């Protein structure tokens, strides 16, 4: 194995393999949580809470650690108590991040389609439309 990867746990290696080659259900769920990719949540695991419950402690820890590295947080080191706290709030924080991502995507798409629009703030009617669309999308994941 390449230098730097030899110290990874089997759970971390499993997550990397899953991201690279579409692995098991748990690996797919882990990928979805790390990348914020809604397409990874399928079948009986479309609900974020059900998907999170599917993962064991080590898989959840790997998700939190990978997200920490991917999003350049300074607090990479986790102790067990910190993991438990983050697990408790993870789904609500993850849902909020997904919502922000979808809002940003919709905003950019609208601005690309309306190049003549020169205000930084979208019209209220567009914001309301986007909010309703996003809430409808997220409803199937957070029921």
Domain residue limits, the chain: 10-142
CA distance 46 to 1: 34
Which pLDDT does position 41 carry in this prediction? Answer: 92
pLDDT tens for the 143 residues of the chain, in order: 444 556 667 767 766 766 666 678 888 898 898 888 899 998 889 999 999 999 988 888 888 888 777 664 544 444 444 455 466 688 888 888 889 889 999 999 999 999 888 887 899 999 999 999 999 999 988 86
The whole model's pTM is what? 0.73
Which pLDDT does position 97 carry in this prediction? Answer: 85
Which pLDDT does position 21 carry in this prediction? Answer: 67
* Helix count and strand count (H, E) for the chain: 6, 0
At 54, list the tokens: 């599917």
CA distance 130 to 104: 10
Which pLDDT does position 5 carry in this prediction? Answer: 58
What CA–CA distances, in Å, run from 134 to 16, 39, 106, 120?
29, 15, 9, 20
Which pLDDT does position 77 carry in this prediction? Answer: 44
Which pLDDT does position 127 carry in this prediction? Answer: 95
Which pLDDT does position 74 carry in this prediction? Answer: 44
């Amino acid at each position: 194995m390449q230098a730097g990867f030899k110290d990874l746990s089997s759970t971390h290696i499993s997550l990397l393999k899953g991201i690279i080659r579409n692995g098991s259900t748990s690996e797919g769920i882990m990928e979805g949580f790390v990348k914020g990719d809604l397409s990874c949540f399928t079948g009986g695991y479309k609900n974020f809470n059900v998907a999170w419950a599917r993962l064991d402690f080590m898989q959840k820890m790997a998700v939190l650690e990978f997200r920490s590295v991917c999003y350049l947080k300074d607090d990479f080191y986790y102790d067990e108590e910190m993991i438990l706290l983050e697990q408790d709030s993870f789904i609500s924080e993850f849902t909020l991040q997904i919502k922000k991502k979808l809002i940003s995507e919709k905003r950019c798409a609208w601005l690309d389609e309306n190049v003549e629009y020169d205000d930084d703030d979208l019209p209220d009617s567009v914001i309301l439309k986007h909010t309703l669309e996003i809430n409808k999308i997220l409803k199937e994941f957070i029921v």
